[in-house]
Chains A and B, each alone.
Chain A
Amino acid sequence: MDFRFDLIVHYLPVFLRGTLFTIGVSVVSILIGSILGLGIGFGKMAPKAIYRWPFHFYINFFRGTPLYVQILIVHFGLIPAFYGTTNVLMTSFVALSLNSAAYSAEIFRAGIQSIDPGQREAALSLGMTKWQAMRFIILPQAIKRMVPAFGNEFIVLVKDSSLLALVAAPEIMFWSNTMKGQYLRIWEPYLTAALIYFVLTYSLSKLLNYIERKV
């Protein structure tokens, strides 16, 4: 089968722009998502069931529905409700952050709960407050255990951001679809997109391995 490298070369500049968009959206969303996730994770560990319930629901909703649908709801429902019109950049940040927050919350909760309760009891018996015990004893140990799971979540997020093409966010798949339409050829655009995602996630996993060894 013939493979038209000349078409790829022609589209390379826009693919690069799409890659920057993908990276930007993923980085911002993982940051917002983990901050939200930290709060939600703590919420889910609240002592009273009545306080836990909304966080429980949040996590189950975002893990239990496809991101595809979440993007549509955010784009055509949530964002217009606040802005009056759609805004694809906001959709990208909000949909990915909200989705990522649900997974991050579980990573935080699992990480914190994996620390032996004896650590907390020891800290409290030394006269630390609950907050100090969390801040200085539990979290530092938990975060070390969370790093691989976070890395995984980040990689998943980078790949999932491809779904934003659904609402015309100018990311990698968007340009891939554009190229497909002009020439009605499948392999050149899709394999180029696949290669870009692979390079992104592979470098990311290398970086994460490095960080894992450091912490």
Chain B
Amino acid sequence: MGIGKKVFMSAMVACSMLAMAGCGSNNEAGGNAAAGESIKIATDASYAPMEYMDTDTIKGFDVDFLKAVMEEAGVKYTITNTGWDTMLTSVQQGTEYQAGVSSVSITDERKETYDYSIPYFESTNMIMVKEGSDIKSALDLKDKVVAVQGATTADTLMSDIMGVDNTNLKRFDSNAVALMELNAGGADAVVADIAIVNEYIKNNPKEKLTGILDKENFGSEYYGILYPKGSEWKAKLDPAIKAVIENGKYAEIYQAWFGEEPDTAALLNAE
């Protein structure tokens, strides 16, 4: 190998290391970590306020919750922003990342491919319309044009109501684009997680938007930590999740992000 090639190779290695360091990976050491046990967790940090990037740091409710769980379990961990698709494949394989934490709703169809932790968050989908809209409930959406983020439970729910092959159900790449579609008049409503809708309405008071809660048609759904099939981490971390919810740490984090008390009883009974 010539000297030029060596220099080139080391430059390449240096560059890729820099690139990896820039990927937004938060390293957190667990409190009283047992020797060597550690878990690598993937997330799609584009879902404020649940998980999002603040320049190069991952923040959000899920991130704080995860920290509490890992401290409770005494496990070292890293959380990395891999994006949605990479998270799904790498967690399914379980070699690079052993878990995914990214507001992933627990559904039966998905359980065919993944294991889930016990539920750690109760959510529901919410309808967002412009003020003065005649839409009052989820069933009013049947003949309307509805925008959702594809590959979410909002998508699944609306597919059930409108039909999976109905092109009036517009699936966008992200909630942000779905919301733009509503503002541009291309959709009558957006359906998304309640936290997302509330955050958006709060941040955009000029758009004159209203959120509609329809507990009857959009039941509660629960987020879980995503594991590969047969993962041993489920048994290790489930007790820690339960403890964090029971000992009040969970309520503290919840209060800090959403300004209200969580219904922890419902959460613990949800399984």
Q: How close is B178's CB to chain A, nearest CB, in angstroms?
A: 8
- Cβ of A185 within 8 Å of any chain B Cβ, yes or no, is yes
What's the Cα separation between A183 and B109 when bound, in Å?
6
Q: Which of A88, A166, A184 meets B173, CB within 8 Å?
A: A166
- Cβ of B112 within 8 Å of any chain A Cβ, yes or no, is yes
- Cβ of A41 within 8 Å of any chain B Cβ, yes or no, is no
A86-B85 contact in complex given A168-B171, A168-B172, A182-B156, C-beta closer than 8 Å: no
Within 8 Å CB of B184, what residues of A? 75-76, 80, 85-86
Within 8 Å CB of B88, what residues of A? 180, 184-186
Within 8 Å CB of B164, what residues of A? 14, 178, 182
Specify the chain A residue showing the minimal Cβ separation from B165.
A14
Within 8 Å CB of B114, what residues of A? 184
What's the Cα separation between A43 and B110 when bound, in Å?
55
- Cβ of A54 within 8 Å of any chain B Cβ, yes or no, is no
Q: A178-B171, A184-B114 are in contact. List 9 more A-B contacts (CB 8 A).
A: A1-B93, A80-B184, A80-B185, A166-B177, A168-B150, A178-B155, A180-B150, A181-B171, A184-B88
- Cβ of A170 within 8 Å of any chain B Cβ, yes or no, is yes
Q: Are A166 and B85 neighbours in the complex by a CB distance under 8 Å?
A: no
Specify the chain A residue showing the minimal Cβ separation from B110.
A184
Count of interface residues, chain B, beta-carbon cutoff 8 Å? 31
Within 8 Å CB of A166, what residues of B? 172-173, 177
Q: Are B181 and A168 neighbours in the complex by a CB distance under 8 Å?
A: yes
What's the Cα separation between A170 and B114 when bound, in Å?
28
Question: Footprint of A on B, CB under 8 Å?
Answer: 85, 88-89, 92-93, 104, 109-110, 112-114, 147, 150-152, 155-156, 159, 164-165, 167, 170-173, 177, 180-181, 184-186
- Cβ of A177 within 8 Å of any chain B Cβ, yes or no, is yes
Q: Which of A14, A177, A187 meets B151, CB within 8 Å?
A: A177
Q: Are B167 and A170 neighbours in the complex by a CB distance under 8 Å?
A: yes
Interface majority SS (helix, strand, loop, mixed), chain A: helix
Within 8 Å CB of A168, what residues of B? 147, 150, 170-172, 181
Count of interface residues, chain A, beta-carbon cutoff 8 Å? 28
Q: Are A85 and B112 neighbours in the complex by a CB distance under 8 Å?
A: no
- Cβ of A27 within 8 Å of any chain B Cβ, yes or no, is no
Q: Are B186 and A181 neighbours in the complex by a CB distance under 8 Å?
A: no
Interface majority SS (helix, strand, loop, mixed), chain B: mixed
Question: Footprint of B on A, CB under 8 Å?
Answer: 1, 13-14, 17, 75-76, 80, 84-88, 165-168, 170, 174, 177-178, 180-187
What's the Cα separation between A56 and B11 when bound, in Å?
39
Report 19 cross-chain contacts, Cβ distance below 8 Å, ordered by A residue: A85-B184, A85-B185, A166-B172, A166-B173, A166-B177, A168-B150, A168-B181, A178-B159, A180-B85, A181-B156, A182-B164, A184-B104, A184-B114, A184-B151, A185-B88, A185-B113, A186-B85, A186-B89, A186-B92
Q: Are A182 and B177 neighbours in the complex by a CB distance under 8 Å?
A: no
Q: Are B152 and A181 neighbours in the complex by a CB distance under 8 Å?
A: yes
Q: Are B110 and A183 neighbours in the complex by a CB distance under 8 Å?
A: yes
What's the Cα separation between A75 and B183 when bound, in Å?
12
What's the Cα separation between A168 and B175 when bound, in Å?
12
What's the Cα separation between A35 and B150 when bound, in Å?
35
- Which of A75, A76, A181 neighbours the largest number of chain B CB atoms within 10 Å of its CB? A181
Within 8 Å CB of B186, what residues of A? 75, 80, 85-88
Within 8 Å CB of B113, what residues of A? 183-185
Q: How close is B17's CB to chain A, nearest CB, in angstroms?
A: 27
What's the Cα separation between A1 and B229 when bound, in Å?
12
Q: How close is A12's CB to chain B, nearest CB, in angstroms?
A: 11
What's the Cα separation between A76 and B181 when bound, in Å?
7
